[in-house]
Amino acid sequence: MAVDYKELGLVNTREMFKRAMEGKYAVPAYNFNNMEQLQSIMTACGEGGSPVILQVSRGARNYANQTLLRYMAEGAVAMTRELGSDIPIALHLDHGDTFELCVSCIESGFSSVMIDASHLDYEDNIALTKKVVEYAHPRDVTVEGELGVLAGIEDDVQAEVSHYTKPEEVQDFVGRTGVDSLAISIGTSHGAFKFKVDSVEDIPPLRFDILEECEERLPGFPIVLHGASSVVPEYVKMINDYGGEMTGAFGIPEDQLRKAAASAVCKINIDSDGRLVVTGEVRKYLKENPKEFDPRKYLGQARKALAELLKHKNEFVLGSAGRY
Ligand code: G3H
Ligand code: 13P
Ligand code: ZN
């Protein structure tokens, strides 16, 4: 039986994005795969008064079980309300790749889905995205589409100009598909190795010119930024200091994300930073406490550190803290 997300206390992203656009901030979209990550997200956003989009990827569904994840999100809403917080919470499918997956998520209580058909031909992208919108909108579920392909880990971001979103396509794409938000490619990429550089100073700036052109062609329309982890240097160092090997890991500097958040970018996707915090803290804890074998100890430490980092992002990078 289909589940109505409104009965779970969730909201879609429409009002969130409208407010983010007016208030010149971005709503955080944090991925979760397990209980500790979800608790960190809810602590940071609940205590800091930030709207939040809980993101579930295909990989997360395979790892944690789709039904369990849905109940976890429902539990997160209930826990947050019990703690006295009234923040808007959306449950979103990240990088959905088929119509069937989007339908399955909507039926199980997701309030928002992404159909990522950006790797297809332009017309095929439109056809698949439109099909998802036609299914989602009668159920009041919002849909994110994507135009342009984010560079992969091994691609040279500076050279792969053809992967950037073409601003001349955005109006036609949004008009013909009916999407509620659009992910664009302006130089971010997924993962912890976003740039082939030797130091933070060499990181190339995002293509704000493309973003501005998209904004001009789609006034007031919510833009989404994927691949927006900063790959926090402190945590890369912690991982390396405690036995890991992440030399050459660089992300998007915070000042660039701040600038994006003040523009039409209403949703900023962050996953890798959460992974780095957990890995760094667990490595450190186990090295410093070799006799410890209670997962609550090392995961508890990681959970606390992750909540602190996300609070910092909401307050000082995305500007979403206290904005609901
Ligand atoms: O954009 C991708 C997200 O970071 C999710 O990654 O597919 O490994 O869960 P995943
Ligand atoms: P990061 O790998 O930069 O965290 O990006 C996450 C993302 O875009 C999820 O959709
Ligand atoms: Zn993404």
CATH number of the domain residue 128 falls in: 3.20.20.70
Residue with tokens 């500076």: 158
- Is residue 320, in this structure, part of any structural domain at all? no
Residue 8 and residue 248 in contact, taking contact as beta carbons nearer than 8 Å: no
CB distance 146 to ligand 2 below 6 Å = no
| Maximum alpha-carbon separation in the chain | 61
CA–CA separation, 282 and 152 (whole Å)? 27
* Residue 94 a catalytic site member: yes
- Tell how far the Cα of 293 is from the centroid of ligand 3, in angstroms: 34
- Is residue 323, in this structure, part of any structural domain at all? no
Domain with 133 in it: 5-314
pTM over 0.95: yes
Of 147, 155, 151, 143, which Cα lies nearest the Cα of 126?
147
CA–CA separation, 197 and 261 (whole Å)? 25
- Is residue 319, in this structure, part of any structural domain at all? no
- Tell how far the Cα of 228 is from the centroid of ligand 3, in angstroms: 8
Q: Where are the beta strands (DSSP E) in the chain?
A: 27-31, 52-57, 89-96, 112-115, 142-147, 181-184, 223-225, 265-270
Domain count, the chain: 1
- Is residue 131, in this structure, part of any structural domain at all? yes
pLDDT in tens, 141-200: 999 999 999 876 434 444 444 489 999 999 999 999 999 999 999 999 999 999 999 999
pLDDT at 160: 47
For 19, the token pair is: 């407010």
Residues 6+ apart with CB under 8 A from 259: 208
- Tell how far the Cα of 290 is from the centroid of ligand 3, in angstroms: 36
pLDDT at 279: 98
pLDDT tens digits for the chain (324 residues)? 899 999 999 999 999 999 999 999 999 999 999 999 999 999 999 999 999 999 999 999 999 998 999 999 999 999 999 999 999 999 999 999 999 999 999 999 999 999 999 999 999 999 999 999 999 999 999 999 999 998 764 344 444 444 899 999 999 999 999 999 999 999 999 999 999 999 999 999 999 999 999 999 999 999 999 999 999 999 999 999 999 999 999 999 999 999 999 999 999 999 999 999 999 999 999 999 999 999 999 999 999 999 999 999 999 999 999 998
Residue ranges near ligand 3 (ion) with Cβ within 5 Å: 226, 269
Measured between its terminal Cα atoms, the distance across the chain in Å is: 32
Residue 115 and residue 163 in contact, taking contact as beta carbons nearer than 8 Å: no
Atom number in ligand 1 closest to CA 269: 1
Of 64, 34, 114, which Cα lies nearest the Cα of 282?
34
- Is residue 321, in this structure, part of any structural domain at all? no
- Is residue 322, in this structure, part of any structural domain at all? no
